[in-house]
Structure 1
Amino acid sequence: MKLRAKATILSSWKSTTHQWRDVIAELNKTGIILNYVKRGEVIKKEMYGFSNLVDVGMNIPDEVKLNPTRDHFGLKFRIRSGEIYLLLTLGENPLIFDIKEFENFIDSIFMAILDGKKAMLQFARSKGGAINMDSKWDEAMIRIVSAGGKRDAFIVQGKKVISLFRDLEDMEIEEVELGEKTVKALKLTHNYKSESVTSYLYIPSRKLTLFLIRYILLHGPESRELMEKIADEFGEIKRDIEEELQRELKELMKISPEKQQILLALYSGINPLEIHQFLGIREEDVERIYDEMIDEGLLKIVMIRKIVDLTMDGRKIVNKLIKLGNMEM
């Protein structure tokens, strides 16, 4: 599989300014080949083998990105000299760079490093809170599916299948007995035949476990909340979550204190026509702020006289502000 893209390489032993270059990225079972292109001709090739891959899909700081508004994807390799980061994104020309091909290429990377890998699964160890004594550890397989715009990651054990995108309800890490040893396994609470059950998944390779978690983070529903529960076991995930929270905090701090107060007051059910009295702000100032927030997509008019309500974006901001502890009533 090939992809026209922009690429840059960062290394732990060089502090020189990185340069984004035109490439044709070529994916095979063993790794990624970067074909550097100049005036339509391949002038250089570099191979990055999956045997040296230690992380994938990690957060990329905006200051490193070619264009912070575009999707980027990173892979981290460890070699004798240190660590290498391969970053990919798209250029501006839509005739050359295709977002669908970019997304398919990323899915194909996860397929190459995860699909068909073996694991151990104790399926439906508990049902409805009761221990299932018939549940035993047995071999299972990780399957990655990406076709027709639909993506999923499955754990397959014979006819027993867990969709990590559609069925997963909760995920934790728990020490369990596997044969004669104690291992740290993924405790999966998931739906099976319209019933909530708990299964245990053990992947012998920590690296493969990290890759699978990264894939769930990339596509899975409400994955961040699930990942926060297991972040302590994966420093890579914890760092990314902390960096993302700091980035969100900086964005939220751009919202003026008056607007933050209005958002929370409306969220708490205060009458829009009484906000000025509640916050001790002149009514004409509240009307002006309402207009600004409507333009910003945070409020919507539901009746005349500026009877407003939070938009979905407004509610998301309030939830983030409350979670980060920046607003109190």
Structure 2
Amino acid sequence: MSGDERKLVDTSGDFQYVVRNGEDVADPQWRSCRLIVTNKRLVLATNGSKQPIAHSKIRLADDAAELVPDAASGATALEVGDNVLLVDAPNVDDFETEYVRAALQGQVILAREQAVVGGVVQDDAAWSKARFQLDDGVVRLQFPGGGGLSFEVEDVGTIETGTSTVMGQQRTVIEVEHTDDQDRSVETHLSGMDHHTRALETLFTRVVEGREDDYELSEMESQVLMALYSGVSPFEMSDFVGTTPDEVEEIYQRLLDIGAVDEVRVRTEVALNAQGRNMASEAMSEK
């Protein structure tokens, strides 16, 4: 490995090609291997030979559910040109997430800090190169000149994917909502090369979708969440939504129970967390 290449995963596993040169493999066979993932490439090592594949040549498969058989439900589907291979690492809890983290670690991407603050688009927010790091659950972006941005990956409330002009080119943009050091809801927009944006989308989507979010909000609970999202003080909530303080207290307790808010004080005051901001955003989009 070169001096700036770092090994991030080294484990035993299996792989098989299910598509070669654009054609389905009639009888795919698993092969045992040593799986090595660095910040630059994936290596499949078998019987003294090594098959290195650069991250820039790998895409997470769009139709992974169709490609991975039930018997290999934990496998990760990777597209390499016109080929698709399945990689299974039973000793790694979540190989797909570990692979995505490795593919992004130390990479220079494009970032637009505080593109949206409190729901207001910041027209003066500019795109810049940024070095991406994810360590101990904290995303860190290092900008030229020494500036930086960090937030906990579990603090991500919503994620949207679209296309926009970035530094003169049409690119995929990942819009990530989180809070800043002033507890304001902000959006950081991320872009880069195709394999960067695919990895970023997978990383943050897995975080958001991994939360339990099947609770059906009542109309009043939706109003309270949207009011909190908009910055209404918990102490002013009953007047704002037109109900009694006791009912607001009961709603806060239910929102605490489902993990949509965090308790700030023993009584009355709560603050939206990532799941709550996600639920509030969905409630507002339905209005």
TM-score range, shorter chain: 0.5 to 0.7
Is 1:221 the counterpart of 2:205? The answer is no
- Change beyond 3 A, Cα 1:217–1:44: same
Any conservation in 1 of the 2:15–2:33 contact (CA below 8 Å)?
yes
Is 1:54 the counterpart of 2:59? The answer is yes
Normalization by structure 1: what TM-score?
0.49
Letter matched to residue 208 of structure 1: H
Cα deviation for residue 75 of structure 1 reads 1.9
Name the CA distance, whole Å, in 2 between partners of 1:57 and 1:154: 27
- Change beyond 3 A, Cα 1:217–1:115: same
Letter matched to residue 170 of structure 1: T
Aligned pair partner of 1:185 in 158, 161, 173: 173
Aligned pair partner of 1:171 in 149, 159, 162: 159
Any conservation in 1 of the 2:137–2:154 contact (CA below 8 Å)?
no
Q: What number of residue pairs does the alignment pair up? A: 205
Cα deviation for residue 210 of structure 1 reads 0.7
Q: 1:35: which partner in 2?
A: 45
Is 1:9 the counterpart of 2:14? The answer is no
Q: 2:195: which partner in 1?
A: 207
Letter matched to residue 18 of structure 1: P
Aligned pair partner of 1:120 in 110, 113, 121: 110
Q: Name the SS for the 1:139 alignment partner.
A: strand
Any conservation in 1 of the 2:172–2:194 contact (CA below 8 Å)?
no
Is 1:75 the counterpart of 2:78? The answer is yes
More moved, 18-27 vs 182-191: 182-191
Any conservation in 2 of the 1:75–1:86 contact (CA below 8 Å)?
yes
Any conservation in 1 of the 2:115–2:187 contact (CA below 8 Å)?
yes
Root-mean-square deviation (CA, aligned residues, Å) is 3.9
Name the CA distance, whole Å, in 1 between partners of 2:44 and 2:198: 24
Q: Name the SS for the 1:212 alignment partner.
A: helix
1:20-31 → structure 2 map (5 Å cutoff) = 20-31=30-41
Any conservation in 1 of the 2:13–2:35 contact (CA below 8 Å)?
yes
Name the CA distance, whole Å, in 1 between partners of 2:59 and 2:67: 22
Percentage of identical aligned residues? 13
Any conservation in 2 of the 1:3–1:105 contact (CA below 8 Å)?
no
- Change beyond 3 A, Cα 1:127–1:152: closer
Q: Name the SS for the 1:169 alignment partner.
A: coil
Q: Name the SS for the 1:166 alignment partner.
A: helix
Any conservation in 2 of the 1:58–1:214 contact (CA below 8 Å)?
no
Q: 1:84: which partner in 2?
A: 84
Gaps of 5+ in 1: 37-41, 91-98, 227-263, 269-311, 313-329
Q: Name the SS for the 1:221 alignment partner.
A: helix
- Change beyond 3 A, Cα 1:225–1:21: same
- Change beyond 3 A, Cα 1:26–1:57: farther
Q: Name the SS for the 2:196 alignment partner.
A: helix
Any conservation in 1 of the 2:159–2:205 contact (CA below 8 Å)?
no
Name the CA distance, whole Å, in 2 between partners of 1:30 and 1:126: 32
Name the CA distance, whole Å, in 1 between partners of 2:183 and 2:110: 22
